[in-house]
Amino acid sequence: MKDKVITLGHGSGAGLTRQLIHDVFDSQFHLPALDDAVHINDRIVTTTDAYVVQPLFFPGGDIGKLSVTGTLNDLSMSGSKPAFLLASFIIEEGFLIEDLRKIVASMQKAAAEAGVKIIGGDTKVVEKNKCDGIFITTSGVGFIEPEIDLSAKNIREGDKILVNGTLGDHTIAIINARQKLGLEPPPKSDCADLYEIVQILLRSGKLRFTRDATRGGVATILNEIYEETGLGIIIEESKVPVKDSTSAVCGLLGLDPLYMANEGKLLAFINDADDKLIHQLQEHHLGEEASIIGEVTLAVKGVYLRTAIGSLRPLLMLTSDPLPRIC
């Protein structure tokens, strides 16, 4: 790769991250798959993820809850039932034990609600200014029925693309809390365990593939799908659920909800999605604003957005984090 040093862009989840994984990690590790969760065998699935959010506590969650739900979601997206977690902590000298207690309690609460046990971990303390408060890594194990196969290769022309609710909420909550923008009421992160939503989709018998739309957002996943399958995708802007408050802040900062991180939203490819399935999702509190936002089609090559005014434009993969603009 061209770059000589790591920049923040390499952690964006977008093109630079993919390039880094491909050129540095996969070239040595020869990974069996680059999915968020991997199969150990036809019954056991595992995953790992690191969490470095600032601020540590934000409306709708904290780094502890995030570190549990994020890893559980990676397992759930494979169609598995999460069962066990391991958690590692890197803590900065001077960190308040009271805050650590709050974070750990939040982790236990999230795990217990999901019926998952935290069975082990590790603790390291580093010198002042050697990390930003606390970093948490969680690894998870889940069990899967052998007949379940949720991979991108299952996607077919005509599949409908669905999200379970409004996009961009986590990013806006974090920006507001971090930058003290003073939005009232403060926007809340959508940080949540999506297991039950995946199960509703699985029970329909129509789910081909699903992924939680974290870093890089929906647009990045759609582009990954296009690269992997060669199938075109058209998204209808008017169907994409976005809160008015999120939309307003995005307009102000020049950000696009389709590229922003979510922590409680998934993108699902459904064979022949119907109103009944959407209605079932909408009855769940994490799917109240579920919407079919687009379709897999051979009519285009690439990922396209039909704008609210009817024109069609490409929806590209970003290379790096979107940056807030000046004016």
Partner 1 sequence: MDLQKYRQPDLINHVIDDIKKHTASVKFMEVCGTHTMAIGKWGIRKLLPKKIKLISGPGCPVCVTPSSVIDELSKLKKVTIATFGDLLRVPGSSGTLEKARALGLRVEVVYSPMEALELAKQVETIFVGIGFETTIPGIAHTIKIAKQQNVSNFSVLPACKLVPPALEALIAGEETKIDGFLLPGHVSVIIGSAAYNFIPQKYGIGGVVTGFEPLDIIVGIKKLLENLDQPQIINEYERVVTKDGNKNAQAVMFEVFAVQDALWRGLGWIPNSGLSIREEYAQFDALKKYGLRITDIPENPQCRCGDVLQGKIIPPSCTLFDKVCNPQNPVGPCMVSSEGSCAAYYKYER
Exactly one of 33, 96, 97, 309 binds partner 1 (CB under 8 A); that residue is 309
Q: Is 119 in the site for partner 1 (CB under 8 A)?
A: no
**Residue 297 binding partner 1, by CB under 8 A:** no
Q: Which is nearer to partner 1, 298 or 323 (CB)?
A: 323
For position 311 contacting partner 1 by CB under 8 A, the verdict is: yes
Q: Is residue 306 within 8 Å of residue 236, measured between CB atoms?
A: yes
Shortest approach of partner 1 to residue 122 CB, angstroms?
28
Buried b or exposed e, range 244-277, using 16+ CB within 10 angstroms: ebbeebbeebebbbbbbbbbbbbbbbbeebeeeb
Structure tokens of 123?
């603790």
Q: Any idea which residue has 């069990």 for tokens?
A: 143
Our finding on whether 115 is near partner 1 (CB under 8 A) is no
24 binds partner 1 (CB under 8 A): no
Please return the burial class of 57, using the count of CB atoms within 10 Å of its CB with bins 0-12, 13-18 and 19+. middle
With binding defined as CB under 8 A, does residue 253 bind partner 1? yes
From 50-58, 64-72, 102-110, 304-312, span contacting partner 1 (CB under 8 A): 304-312
Indicate whether 55 belongs to the interface with partner 1 (CB under 8 A): no
Instruction: Indicate whether 94 belongs to the interface with partner 1 (CB under 8 A).
Output: no
According to the binding rule CB under 8 A, does residue 129 interact with partner 1?
no
Describe the crossing of helices 97-113 and 63-76 by its angle, rounded to 10 degrees.
Answer: 30
Question: Helix H segments across the chain?
Answer: 15-20, 27-29, 63-76, 97-113, 169-179, 195-203, 217-229, 244-253, 275-282
Q: Which of residues 169-208 bind partner 1 (CB under 8 A)?
A: 175, 179-181
* Contact residues for partner 1, defined by CB under 8 A: 2-3, 5-9, 15-16, 175, 179-181, 247, 251, 253-254, 307-314, 316, 318-320, 322-327
